[in-house]
Amino acid sequence: MFPVEQKHCDITGFEALNHDVYRVRLRLEASDRQNVHFHAGQYLDLCLPEGKKASFSIASAPDQGRDLELHIREVPGSEFNAMILNHLRSQSQVDVELPKGKVHLVEAELKPETRFVFAAASTGFAQIKSMVEHLLANQVSNPIDIYWGARVEADMYLEKLPQQWVSEHANVRFVPVVSEPENSPGWEGLTGLMPNVLADQLESVDEHLAVYACGSPGMVHALVDRLEEKGVSEAQIHSDVFAWAPRPDKKA
């Protein structure tokens, strides 16, 4: 693991990806050009005024060098969220602390028989994007299934990217899921809660299956419950949620 360090970044991009998600591009200072500071799937803290910090998954893969990408959703009514977005929109620089998070992938440590299932809800896609792009950049041929759940179709903001992965890589499959099709005019994809859809589609379970989940505690815990019914052990499911929102004990 890399040590956690504070780094200086230039803010090189700020753009809307849909009605409420923004892509922020950062670039580590030139002296860090040759150094990799995180593993795919880890996150960073933005160091904001008055000593405040905010954590976000790094959406880019470490293979992209000193260029970092974040996906940040606007939260109506949150002064802290508004301050974060205003700072990134109006300033040219920001300090970050990285890397953080124990859930990550390193291509050199992978087993060729591992089957990957990535499950994302909302901007949880950022963490999944980093890991998938790392695997693809290193020409990993392991099976990769990507499930992305959203309330409505409009909440998905980069769906053409995983569609492109599918068209360019035979080992990648992408399954977008909408839970409120009645509010998604024209939606022709799968509907329901993403953990249920994933569990229903999971055809085989063995020790080679590895599930990476990124989303709210409720989504991740629901996914664990559904997958355990299929024979997947909790040890096969990886999520940063477990570190700060442990799974509730089941009532007898």
* HEC string for 8-67: EEEEEEEEECCCCEEEEEEEECHHHCCCCCCCECCEEEEECHHHCEEEEECCCCHHHCCE
CATH number of this structure's domain 107-244: 3.40.50.80
pLDDT at 20 over 50: yes
Residue 35 to residue 41: CA distance in whole angstroms: 17
Residue 176 to residue 162: CA distance in whole angstroms: 10
State the average pLDDT over residues 54-72: 96
Q: Say if 5-100 and 107-244 have the same CATH topology.
A: no
pLDDT at 36 over 80: no
pLDDT at 34 over 90: no
Please classify residue 63 by burial: count the beta carbons closer than 10 Å to its beta carbon, then call 0-12 exposed, 13-18 middle and 19+ buried.
Answer: middle
pLDDT at 35 over 70: no
> What percentage of the chain exceeds 70 in pLDDT?
97
pTM tops 0.85, yes or no:
yes
Residue 22 to residue 53: CA distance in whole angstroms: 18
Residue 165 to residue 73: CA distance in whole angstroms: 24
pLDDT of 31 reads 72
What would the pLDDT profile of 191-225 be if each residue is shown by its tens digit? 999 999 999 999 899 999 999 999 999 999 999 99
pLDDT of 252 reads 44
The pLDDT mean for the chain works out to 95
State the average pLDDT over residues 158-171: 98
> What percentage of the chain exceeds 90 in pLDDT?
90
Q: Give 69-97 as a DSSP string.
A: EEEEE--TT-HHHHHHHHHHHH-SEEEEE
Question: Which H or E element spans position 199?
Answer: helix 194-201
What would the pLDDT profile of 77-113 be if each residue is shown by its tens digit? 999 999 999 999 999 999 999 999 999 999 999 999 9
Residue 198 to residue 31: CA distance in whole angstroms: 43
Phi-psi domain of 101 (left: phi exceeds 0; alpha: psi -120 through 50; beta: other): left
Class of domain 5-100: mainly beta
Residue 56 to residue 125: CA distance in whole angstroms: 11
Domain boundary assignment for the chain: 5-100, 107-244
* Residue (of 87, 60, 58, 56) closest to 73 by Cα position: 56
State in Å, rounded, how far the first CA of the chain is from the last one.
39
C-alpha R_g of the chain: 18
What would the pLDDT profile of 123-139 be if each residue is shown by its tens digit? 999 999 999 999 999 99
